[in-house]
Amino acid sequence: SGINAEWHYGRVEDMAFRSLAIRSAALCRRAMATEASTNTFPLTFGSPSKNIHDGTAVKQVDIPSTTGHFGILPNHVPTIAILLPGVVSIQPEAGDVQKFFVSSGTATIHPDSTVQILAEEICDVGDIDVAAARSGLEAAQSKLASASSEVDKATAQIEVDVYQSMVASA
């Protein structure tokens, strides 16, 4: 009868439309995925007691390393680096730049573009007390001036460097 035929036709049309919708959604998703991977990379950033990012997608990270201050963008060359005391600045996918002062640690960039930055101590730049850092710097400088043995000189020098970068970053 007439009604049956209509229903059958409508169903076929519906199925065709649905499969087209599914296919185009898959294409969209694939396109979005590639767009995401060229724009951001997963970052793990933390200390033993505090985890800031665990695989979050970020756009750029700048780190202070022994081989110089450098920035990491997606698809950076794989490398490993040792961090110096200084500021790590992170540009997340959405939002403002985050700045953290790190004491020391390591940074690893893998061939699959995942990045792990592990630091012994992390503190938000906003939490640094400039006055305390400055007085610490003065104390460390006087200790360096009065240091006698090589070990003492090296320890005092490290203290001076750390306080200097703290004061500079605050």
Partner 1 sequence: SSGINAEWPLRPGYKLYFEMAVPMLRTTLTLTPSATRGMATLKDIEMRLKSVKNMKKITSSMKMVSAAKFARAERALKPARAYGTGAASLYEKNDFDTSGKDSVLLALSSDRGLCGGIHSNVGKMVKAAHAETPITKAIIVGDKAKAILVKVIGDTFLSCFNNVGKKPTSFTDALDIAEEVLSHDYDTINIVYSKFKNIVSYNTEEKPVPSLESVESNAAIYVYDEVDSEVLRCYQEFTLANIIYHSMKECEASEQSSRMSAMENATKNAGEKIDALTLQYNRTRQAVITRELIEIISGASALE
Contact positions vs partner 1 (CB under 8 A): 44, 46-51, 54, 66-67, 77-82, 105-106, 108-112, 114, 116, 118, 120
- Based on its alpha-carbon atoms, the radius of gyration of the chain, rounded to whole angstroms, reads 26
Smallest separation (angstroms) from partner 1 to the CB of 105 = 7
- For partner 1, the closer of residues 119 and 137 by Cβ is 119
Residue 140 contacts residue 149 (beta carbons within 8 Å): no
Among all chains, which residue has been given the structure tokens 């950076």?
76
- For partner 1, the closer of residues 34 and 79 by Cβ is 79
CA 116/CA 118 separation, integer angstroms: 6
Smallest separation (angstroms) from partner 1 to the CB of 133 = 22
CA 124/CA 38 separation, integer angstroms: 28
- For partner 1, the closer of residues 71 and 78 by Cβ is 78
- For partner 1, the closer of residues 117 and 166 by Cβ is 117
96 secondary structure, DSSP code: P
Smallest separation (angstroms) from partner 1 to the CB of 132 = 22
Q: Nearest Cα to 83, choosing from 71, 98, 100, 69?
A: 69
Smallest separation (angstroms) from partner 1 to the CB of 66 = 7
- For partner 1, the closer of residues 75 and 146 by Cβ is 75
Residue 113 contacts residue 105 (beta carbons within 8 Å): no
Q: What are phi and psi of 67, to 5 degrees?
A: -95, 15
Q: Three-state SS for 37? A: helix
Smallest separation (angstroms) from partner 1 to the CB of 145 = 28
